[in-house]
A and B are shown apart, each in its own frame.
Chain A
């Protein structure tokens, strides 16, 4: 905790996050943050419907850091996913620490 739910969009595999009104968003900043187990459970229920509705696959919760006022991923793996970046030609555009 705090957590955000992430998944891949079924039709194209793009990384998405569960947003405020049950929609899946591309930008982690627009994701809904669950600060406790109860709100995470609510998000998981919404996500379950999206899986059944074939919008996304592979839902899981990630740990985020809120210290600069917006969610940012804690693990390198999730930083890379959130950046939606390709490695070829534009690698230097983005430093991931």
Chain B
């Protein structure tokens, strides 16, 4: 019954010119054009539905004209988020609807100020990670240390759309960038890397295990895939308390193969949890290239079986990332349940400091650095807009100073007091 129906829908709207680019996708999905019963209107969070759209000045809310071209509830004047309304029945499952919205309007219309801020945050992450690599080489950082170099636009673009301290963020062990993008002080991060008492985990966690409940940054997890259900739990808490918050849960292309990810997808969709699953597809899981470890390499499609809409996003352009975040957040905040975003990105360095990275060619890395670098991209855009070279240099210089200070702090502050060995095992005494 269902498949037939689906074919019917497919045929019915095949002429409506609502298809996604079939070449890029390898398959075709249509948007429903006659939402008879907008689901969000029935089920959406009533508070959110009533309240004015957030960020009325953002492009997500602006181009009413563009949207009017699409036959959605919003276009016909309802205050409901457009995407939600297309999830009306079994056959019209709007798996591709968010992708369509993203394709229609790819780049965030940032003000100069905003773009400068993105640039600054990305440069901060880059310089911080370079410094961490250096300190590792000197033996000041031990254990495993995974750098975020190359992936900066992902954390900065996505998290700039979140409400810091309100929306939750969780990730794996490659976590320095997400923390910096959430405004956490580089000093206490670097001091954690060097294992000092002033570190954000008092030196007891290290690079892979850092947290800031104040910022709603929930780690920092060393077990590949574990952060995905934990993230859904954070989303569960947002929904339970009805506080309007969402959780952004990051994981890798390699982590995407863990079973618990799919258990989580099912429950998150079933219970319409406010969560954005973010696959940071950087091409490799340690030495395993995506195609050697994954049967379905288009990670954004992996929510299909759970009716989670997917988005395929260029993770090397901070403005595309940010715009995609706008679309996803609008959908999730309206109470429609999870979104699965795949961010195509690249790590320039080895998996960790001890990875010789022999599984890829130097040329491949160089090509990404030369032609797709997110920082260079943002810089070129700034220059094109007429921002002066001096202004950019000034930022670079300031960031170098910030990073140098954090390294200095991390090198000179003392190791934890030995009494710390026994604290924090349990909260209470029994």
Do they bind each other?
Answer: no
B residues with CB within 8 A of A: none
Residues on A lying within 8 angstroms of B by beta carbon are: none
